[in-house]
Amino acid sequence: MRQLQPVIWSKGTFLSPQHLQSQERFVEDTVRFYLDSLVSKSWGFLKIQIDAKALTEGTLTISVATGIFPDALPIDVPASDPAPPSRVLDECFRDGRETCMFYLAIPQYLQGGMNVSLQRGRVSTRYLAQLQMTRDENSGSNEKPVQVARKNLQLLAEGENLEGSVLLACARVLKTETGMYHLDPTYVPSLIDVHGNETLTSIIRGLIELLVTRSSQLSGSRRQKNQTLADFTASDVANFWLLYTINTHLPGLRHYLESSSVQPEMLFGDLSDLAGALTAFSTQIDPRDLPRYDHDNLGPCFIELDRLLRIMLETVVPTNVVSIPLNLTRETIYAASIDKDAWFDNSRFYLAVSADMRDTDLIDRIPKLTKVCSATHIEMLVRQALPGIKLTHVEQPPRAIPVKLRYQYFSIERSGTAWEAVQRARNFAVYAPSDLLNPQMELIILLPKAN
């Protein structure tokens, strides 16, 4: 029961320990009440660190543990609180088990009962009395002994008596066939900050990288109306909404990664929003398939949500346009592979070119100065001054092609020996003389139907 009634300090009150204890309890319970009212899951670790060297030697030792117990008791190991006694793992795995959960524990507060012990050793009280030499903070001198309550922290193992203790699950230990011990990498304890666990920060970082990649891919398929505006056609609606969904959530995830503190429930909610929006583009995943938040066991829900997000982000919206950048492979030679045989079936081919010159000059010079053939025959074509594939400028490219500013588009004639060489070699190359300054080229394939 909460103590939410303040002590009445009136004249003539005979001061006793109960007065101060009741006042302290009132302050603590008021803070807990505010915390529980404002934050649904206000307990967990800020940081938890297990001694890796001790683990290899068969001992579970907590090096660092900062956070809040479910009853709002703060802990700070080792800065303010001593670490709990280590546990010998062989004793905890005697029954032949292969996995064991461990808990950072402290005895429950007993209202009206005994909570402080003067004894040392194995005691069941919440606190142990400890003398601490304290100076007068006004003068900085006059050191006096002050009795303080040291937290009686313990490490308890799964299967032991956990009743009467407040628990924070801190680690799941696995035992190998060779008798070695290691931490379960998929286990994530209760947290009040996602930066306290590498698994969750890796999930955020990986999703940001994937979102940036997909955003760039989808942005590259947009037509450009002018220097500042993109242009979408009716066939681009699915890509537009997918790009909108990704770009809406990307800044928020980047903010979470850069923030000093992020509650896991808040992160999970935003990732669930992203996943729910992406289910609109998936034929396999339904919003009801998304996992639910579990503060006591964060690993499975975050790992499953990350898996589903990656599946949906890798979904490709059907399109009938393939854009292949041509890369500089040798001096004045730009080439690319054409990976699929189906791309040659009744498809139309276009060459998109940009260079540092006026559009009129580019339109005039590209058909005259460049040579187009397969990458395996282009050099022979240039040496022998043979004609390549014919290029014809297209003033109005098909609406399906994502037109870019400063690019001119040329249709590629699908006939002749040079084109047959492209079909046989399954690659494409353009010879661009040095007169063309800073050329950028793309091979665009307009398929008869979406793939």
Cis peptide before 78 (omega within 30 of 0): yes
- Contact, 376 vs 336, CB < 8 A? no
Q: What confidence score (pLDDT) does residue 223 get?
A: 53
**DSSP H or E stretch at residue 312:** helix 298-313
The CB-side HSE value for 235 (13 A sphere, CA atoms) comes to 14
Return d(Cα 63, Cα 45) in angstroms, integer: 13
Give the mean pLDDT of 396-425: 88
Strands 371-373 and 427-431 turn out to be antiparallel
Query: 78-92, 190-204, 304-318, 377-391 — which is least confidently predicted?
Result: 304-318
Name the more confident of 47 and 219: 47
Q: Could you give the percent of the chain with pLDDT greater than 70? A: 94
Q: What is the mean pLDDT of the chain?
A: 88
Between 40 and 307, the more confident residue is 307
205-227 average pLDDT score? 76
- Compute the average pLDDT of residues 348-359: 93
Strands (E) in 270-390, as ranges, are: 321-330, 333-337, 348-354, 371-373
**CA–CA separation, 409 vs 116, rounded Å?**
83
Give the residue-averaged pLDDT of 118-147.
Answer: 83
Judge contact between 410 and 391, C-beta under 8 A.
yes
- Residue 236 pLDDT class (50, 70, 90 cuts): low
What's the pLDDT band for 327 if we cut at 50, 70, 90? very high
DSSP run (H or E) holding 376 = none
- Cα separation, 119 vs 100, whole angstroms: 30
Tell me what pLDDT residue 11 has: 82
**Confidence class of residue 14 from pLDDT cuts 50, 70 and 90?**
confident
At residue 59, does pLDDT exceed 60? Answer: yes
Cβ proximity of 29 and 175 under 8 Å: no
Q: How many CB atoms lie within 10 A of CB 251?
A: 10
Write down the pLDDT at residue 229: 55
Helix, strand, coil percentages for the chain (3-state, nearest 5) = 35, 25, 40
Residue 20: pLDDT band by 50, 70, 90 thresholds? confident
The DSSP secondary structure of 409-447, one letter per residue, reads: EEEE---SHHHHHHHHHTEEEEE--TTS-S-EEEEEEE-
Q: Mind listing the pLDDT tens digit for each residue in 374-407?
A: 998 998 888 888 889 999 999 888 877 877 778 8
* Residue 152 confidence (pLDDT): 93
The pLDDT, as a whole number, for residue 21 is 83
> In this structure, how many other beta carbons lie within 10 angstroms of the beta carbon of residue 385?
7
| Arithmetic mean of pLDDT, 403-418 | 89
% of the chain with per-residue pLDDT over 90: 56
Work out the average pLDDT over 368-375: 92
Which of 209-213, 223-227, 420-424 has the least mean pLDDT? 223-227
Q: Say what the pTM is.
A: 0.72
Domain assignments of the chain as residue spans, ordered by start: 1-38, 43-184, 195-313, 321-446
Q: Which of 162-171, 221-230, 267-276, 347-356 has the lowest mean pLDDT?
A: 221-230
Tokens of 350: 């276009």
Q: Which stretch of 16-30, 89-103, 148-162 has the lowest confidence by average pLDDT? A: 16-30
Q: What pLDDT was estimated at residue 364?
A: 92
Confidence of residue 220 (pLDDT cuts 50, 70, 90): low
CA 447 to the chain's CA centroid: 36
Is the pLDDT score of 219 beyond 80? no
Which pLDDT does position 319 carry in this prediction? Answer: 67
pLDDT of residue 373: 95
State the average pLDDT over residues 144-159: 91
pLDDT at 120: 64
Q: Contact at 8 Å (CB) between 375 and 335?
A: yes
What is the four-CA torsion angle of 85, 90, 93, 99, rounded to 10 degrees? 80
Per-residue b or e along 328-340, where b marks 16 or more CB atoms closer than 10 Å to that residue's CB = eeeebbbbbebee
Amino acid type, 180: M
Q: What angle do CA 172, 175, 178 make, to 5 degrees?
A: 160
> How large is the average pLDDT for residues 64-78?
94
| Mean pLDDT confidence for 170-198 | 93
Distance between CA atoms of residues 32 and 24, nearest Å:
12
The two three-digit tokens of residue 82, written as one number = 């001593």
pLDDT given at position 85 = 94
Q: Say yes or no to pLDDT of 173 above 90.
A: yes
